[in-house]
Structure 1
Amino acid sequence: MSNFVTSNSGSLRGTIKVPGDKSISHRSIMLGSIADGVTRVSGFLEGEDSLATLNAFKEMGVNIERDGSSVVIHGVGMRGLKKPKNPLNLGNSGTSIRLMSGLLSAQEFDSELCGDESLSTRPMGRVIKPLREMGADISGNDSKPPLTIIGGKKLTAIEYTLPVASAQIKSCLLLAGLYSEGMTSIIENGISRDHTERMLKGFGYDVTTSNNKISVLGGGSLKGCNIEVPSDISSAAFFMVAGCISKNSSIILNSVNINPTRTGVIEILKLMGGNIQLLNQRLQAGELIADIKVSSSNLKGIQIPENLVPLAIDEFPVLFVAASCADGETVLTGAKELRVKESDRIQVMADGLNSLGIKNEVLEDGIRITGGEFTKQTSSILSHHDHRISMAFAIASVRSNFDIEIEGVDNVKTSFPNFVELANSIGMKIKQEG
C-alpha cells in the first residue's frame, strides 16, 4: 500500500493535458469490439479501469492492439464474442461491470463478472432488475458482484423509467437493447452523461432522442470508426479546484471534454466565484472540447442546485475541498448516489475534513461544509482506497501550511496514472511513498 505525502506549494502555473476521458475509453472498447471492421482509438486512457475493459474483451476473443494510448480494435460483429475461459475480472471498475452486464446478457454463452474488494460491495440491483424484465438470466451475491449471467436468453425490448439519473444504468439497458426484439426506450427524470448515445451514432447505429426518452431498435449493426478521446473533465476537475484555491495561480488545461452532461463542476465553481474561462471551443469526434483557463479565486459558499448534482457526481470529493476553502457555508443535497461509489464518498470526505479541522455536517443525501482554515491533522487521512478521495485531499495541500499524508493511494492509477507527475509539473509538491 502506498501513501501520498503532500506539502504546501504556493502558486501554481503551467499548461497541462490530463489523460483521456475514462467514460469514452470504456465505451470505445465495448462498441469497437462488437462492430464490423476496424476501430482506431487515439488518446485512450491507460488507467487500470479502462485496461480492465480492454482485457475483458480480449478474453472474449477480440483482437486488440495497443501502443500506449493508441488502440486498434478488430471488431467481431454483434454475435462474434466468444465465451471467456475464466471469470472476467473488472478490478475496481463500476462502469465496466454495469455496462457489460447489459451486453453479456444478450450473448449465447454464460459469463461471470467479478472485481476487487471494493467493487464487490457495490449495488447491482438497479441493473439486475430491468435486465430480468428484458428476459436476462442474471444474478449476484445479494445483488452485488460477482454477477453470473446465463447465456442463450432471448431479450425483449422494454420501456424503462430510470429510478435515479444514471448513465451506467441507461447505457447497460441500451447495450442490451441492441440485441432485443423491438424498441428499447429509457426515460430519464434527470440529465445523465450521454456518451453512449453519441458514440452509438458515431458507429452508425440509429439512436432516437426525444425530450427525456432515448430509444434504440434491436437487430442493427455497428461499423468500425476512428475515435479521438478528449481529456477527462473528471480528472481536470482536480486542477480546476487547485487553481481556484491557490494564490497567484494560472493554469491552462488543454483539450478537455466539456460535454454538456458533464460540466456541473464548471458551473458549480463559477457559482462559487471561480475564475474559469473556456477557450478555443471546438467539436472533436462528436464531443465538445475546450481549453480551460483557471486562475486564483475568492470562493464563496453556496447551496448547490440539485439539477447540477448528476452533472458533477464524480467531482464532488474535490468540490468538497473547494467548499472547505470558501467563505461561508456550502450545502449539498440530492446526492445519495455518492454513498455507493468506490466508497461512501460523503462520509469518507467528512472524516478527512474533520481531521483537517473543517466543520461539516453529514446529511442523508449530502453534506454541509463551513469554509475555514486547515489545521494539522493528528493522523494520516484514510482514502478507503478510493482514487478520487486520494486526489482530492492531495489538492487540499495547496492551502495547508503543513504536510498532509493520505493512506492507500494505489487506486489513483485506475483513472489518473500520471496524476503526481502532472501535479508536480505545475508547482505542487506530492511524494508517493511505499
Structure 2
Amino acid sequence: MSHLEPRPFTVSARGPLRGTVTVPGDKSISHRALMFSALAVGESRIEGLLEGEDVLATAAAMRAMGADVARGDDGVWRVHGVGVGGLLQPQTALDMGNSGTSTRLLMGLVASHAITATFTGDASLSGRPMGRVIEPLSRMGADITASPGGRLPLMVRGMNPAVPIEYSLPVASAQVKSAILLAGLNTPGITRVIEPVSTRDHSERMLRGFGAELSVEDAPQGKIISITGEAELKPQHILVPGDPSSAGFWMVAASIVPGSEILIRNVCMNPTRTGLITALKLMGADVAEIDRRDVGGEAVADLRVRHAPLRAIEVPPELAPSMIDEYPILFVAASFAQGRTVARGAHELRVKESDRIATMRSALEAAGVHTEEFEDGLAIHGSGGEPLAGNAQIASKLDHRIAMSMTVAGLHVRAPVTIDDASPVATSYPDFFHTLDALGTPR
C-alpha cells in the first residue's frame, strides 16, 4: 500500500463549477461496517462501501483474521463473520497502508483475542504516535510492543480473557473510544469509556444495530459509554451514506469559485460530523439541506451549495470534534473570506497523517496567504474573495486531505498550483480528480 512513485498534479483557475456529485461512502462508517460484520455470525451485506485504500486495508486485515470478505459484481460487499472471540491468528503482518483508523480500531479488536498481530504501515502512518491507544489497551491486559515513540511497526499480543476497565479519554478521540469499545466486546463484564467532549458516535450507533448491549448516559464528567462483553453480534444489511469529509471539498469549492452551484447527494448528517457545515454557514456560505431523511440509522440529506461571499469568523472551538478532519479545507475557505479567521482548539491536527497545522500553513503561505500559527490552530487573513496569487509548489506530506484541500484552493488562483504528490488521495477518494473534471472546465 505504500506510495512509491509521487504523482504531481497541477491545478489552474477554473470557471464556475456546476453539476451533481455523489461522494464516496463515509470512511468512518465503512471501516466499522467491515469490522463489525466480520465479528457477526452469518452474512452481512454492505452497500455504498468506500473503496479507497484505507478501507481496503481494513478488509484485507479482516480476511487475514478469518472473515470471508468479498465484493460482488453488483458492488455489494458480503462478509461472513467469525463471531466475537473467533478471530484467527494472522499469518503475516497486517499492512495498514496510510490508515490510522484501521490501525487503532484493529488494535482494540486484537487486544481481547488470544492472538498476536503485527501492524505495519507507510512512512506517514509509521510517524504517527499510537500511545493514546496503547495505554488503555495495556490496562485491559494486552501486551503491546511498539517502535520508539509508540509508533509502527508494533505488535499486539491479545489477552483472553481481558480485563474490563473504566477509562476517561484524556483527549477527544473517536478512534481511541472505539478501540476500547471493540476490546470490550470480547471482555467479560462491562467496559466503560468516559467522554468529556463528545466525538463522532458511529461505533455506538452501529454496535447497537448489530445487537451489542451498549448504553450511553450523560453525567457531570461527560458521556459514559458502557458495553457488555462477550457479545453475540447479528449480521446486518448496511447502507453507507456519503462521507461529509469528502463533501466538504465540494462545499468549499462551490463557495469560493464565482458562479458555482453544486448538488451533493446522500451526505451523512450525523450531528457529530456537521461542524464544517455549521462553520461555513457562520461564514455566510450558501448551503441548503434538501430532503433530510434517515438511512440505516444515520441522518442523511442532499446539500445544494452556491457561490457566496465569505466573511471571517472566530471558529467556535467546541466544533473541533465534529470537524477535525475538515480543518484543512476550512482553512482554504478562510483564505478567501473577508477579514481574519481564527480557528483554534484543534490540537489533534498535530498527529494526523501529517502535522496538518504546520503543513497547511506552509501550503497556504506558498500560495500567497498570510497566516499565523498557534499550537492548536491557525489565524488566516483572507483575500476577500479575490483569487490567490498561486504560482506555488505544495508539499502534501503524504496526506490526502492536504492534497485535496490545496487542489480546491488552486481553483481560484492567478497562477497554477502544483501538488507534489496527489497519489495519497486514493486512500479516501479515488474518484476525486474525475469528479473535479466533471464539475468544471479550465478557463
Classify the TM-score, shorter chain: over 0.9
Partners of 2:392 and 2:138 lie apart in 1 by 47
The answer to whether structure 1 residue 421 and structure 2 residue 421 are counterparts is no
Which whole-Å deviations, capped at 9, do the CAs of 1:101-153 have from their partners, x for residues lacking one?
11001111111111111111111110111111111111211211112112344
C-alpha distance in 2, partners of 1:139/1:303?
Answer: 42
Q: For 1:394, what is the secondary structure of its paired residue?
A: helix
Indicate conservation of the 8 Å contact 2:388/2:412, yes or no.
no
1:399 aligned partner, one-letter code = H
How many angstroms apart in 2 are the aligned matches of 1:342 and 1:39? 31
Is 2:105 aligned against 1:99? Answer: yes
Taking a change above 3 Å as real, the CA distance of residues 359 and 337 of structure 1, as seen in their structure-2 partners, is same
| Counterpart for residue 3 of structure 2 | none
- Secondary structure class of the residue paired with 2:299: strand
The whole-number CA distance in structure 2 between the counterparts of 1:158 and 1:81 is 22
**Is 1:72 aligned to residue 78 of structure 2?**
yes
The answer to whether the 8 A contact 1:233-1:262 is kept is yes
Measure, in 1, the Cα distance between the counterparts of 2:108 and 2:48: 26
- Code of the aligned partner of 1:396: A
Tell me, yes or no, if the aligned pair for 1:6 and 1:429 is still in contact at 8 Å.
no
2:82 is aligned with 1:90: no
Deviation track 1:388-410 (CA, whole Å, cap 9, x = no partner) reads 00000110122112211111111
Separation in 2 of the partners of 1:37 and 1:285?
A: 19
Alignment root-mean-square deviation, CA = 1.3
Aligned to 1:47: 52
What pairs with 1:219-258 in structure 2 (closer than 5 Å)?
A: 219-258=230-269
1:198 to 205, 211, 222: 205
Q: Deviations over 1:17-41 (max 9, x none)?
A: 0111111110011000010111000
What is the CA–CA distance in structure 2 between the aligned matches of 1:393 and 1:154, rounded to whole Å?
Answer: 47
Q: Letter of the aligned partner of 2:77 in structure 1?
A: V
Asked if the contact 1:49/1:414 (under 8 Å) is kept, the reply is: yes
Counterpart residue number, 1:170: 177
What does 1:245-394 align with in structure 2 at a 5 Å threshold?
245-372=256-383, 373-377=386-390, 379-394=392-407
* Aligned equivalents of 2:12, 2:359: Cα separation in 1: 21
**How far off its partner does 1:181 sit?**
2.1
Please report how far the alpha carbon of residue 79 of structure 1 lies from its aligned counterpart in structure 2 after TM superposition: 2.3
Tell me what 2:115 maps to: 109
* CA 288–428 in structure 1, closer or farther in 2 if over 3 Å, else same: farther
Q: Which moved more, 1:378-387 or 1:291-300?
A: 378-387
Instruction: From 207, 217, 221, give the equivalent of 1:210.
Output: 217
Secondary structure class of the residue paired with 1:146 = strand
Aligned to 2:37: 32
Identity %: 46
The amino acid of 2:307's aligned partner reads S
Letter in 1 for 2:90: P
Distance 2:70 2:133 in 1: 31
Q: Which one is further off, 400-409 or 145-154? A: 145-154
- Partner Cα separation in structure 1 for residue 442 and residue 92 of structure 2: 42
Any conservation in 2 of the 1:230–1:256 contact (CA below 8 Å)?
A: yes
Distance in 2 of aligned mates of 1:95 and 1:428:
35
Q: Within the alignment, does 1:126 sit opposite 2:161 as a pair?
A: no
Show structure 1 runs of 5+ residues with no match. none
Counterpart CA distance in 2 for 1:374 and 1:419 is 22
CA gap 1:132/1:429 in 2 versus in 1, 3 angstroms? farther
Instruction: Indicate if the aligned counterparts of 2:390 and 2:413 stay in contact, CA closer than 8 A.
Output: no
2:165 counterpart of 1:158: yes
AA of the residue aligned to 1:23: S
Q: In 1, distance between residues paired with 2:194 and 2:85?
A: 27
Q: Distance in 1 between matches of 2:129 and 2:442?
A: 37
Unaligned runs of 5+ in 2: 1-5
> What is the CA–CA distance in structure 2 between the aligned matches of 1:337 and 1:379, rounded to whole Å?
27
Question: TM-score, structure 1 length as denominator?
Answer: 0.97
1:410 is matched with which residue?
Answer: 423
* Cα contact 2:43–2:79 (8 A) shared by 1: yes
User: Which residue identity lines up with residue 103 of structure 1 in the other structure?
Assistant: L
Shifted more, 88-97 versus 176-185: the winner is 176-185
Superimposed CA distance per residue, residues 185-222 of structure 1 (whole angstroms, 9 cap, x where no aligned partner): 11111110000001001111121011111110111110
Alpha-carbon distance in structure 2 between the residues aligned to 1:130 and 1:231:
32
Match of 2:21 among 16, 38, 55: 16
Runs of 4+ in 1 over 2 A off after TM superposition: 151-154, 373-379
Give the TM-score taking structure 2 as reference length. Answer: 0.95
**Matched residue SS, 1:256:** strand
